Amino acid sequence: MTTLADIADLLRSARQDAGLSQEMLARRAGVSRATVARMETLAKGDMSVSALLRLLEATGFDLKPVKQGFTRTIEDILVEQRQDDQR
């Protein structure tokens, strides 16, 4: 992800994948439906990071920084190793 538009697309996809309407997601995250719509369309050209975190959490996602050029976090690798150890 490199742009706010990419993040808006991710948020919309996460909501749709979770089977939530904008209203349902807004209720879960404790924000207004207008906030969800604004975040998904970048209506004001900017995003509230705190609202974004709440919305992503309400869809079952976390926001984690990943170094450019990498697709997995250290946490991803550790989870994979733990799963391999349990087999």
Residue 19 has a pLDDT of: 95
pLDDT tens digits, the chain, 87 residues: what are they?
Answer: 578 888 899 899 999 999 999 999 999 999 999 999 999 998 888 788 899 999 999 999 888 777 777 777 777 778 888 888 887
Question: What's the total number of domains in the chain?
Answer: 1
What distance in Å separates the CA atoms of residue 17 and residue 12, rounded to the nearest whole number? 9
The pTM of this model reads 0.72
What distance in Å separates the CA atoms of residue 83 and residue 3, rounded to the nearest whole number? 33
Closest CA to 26 of 62, 48, 50, 59: 59
User: Which structural domain, as residue segments, surrounds residue 39?
Assistant: 4-86
Residue 51 has a pLDDT of: 92
Q: What is the CATH number of the domain that holds 34?
A: 1.10.260.40
Are 58 and 25 in contact by the 8 Å Cβ rule? The answer is yes
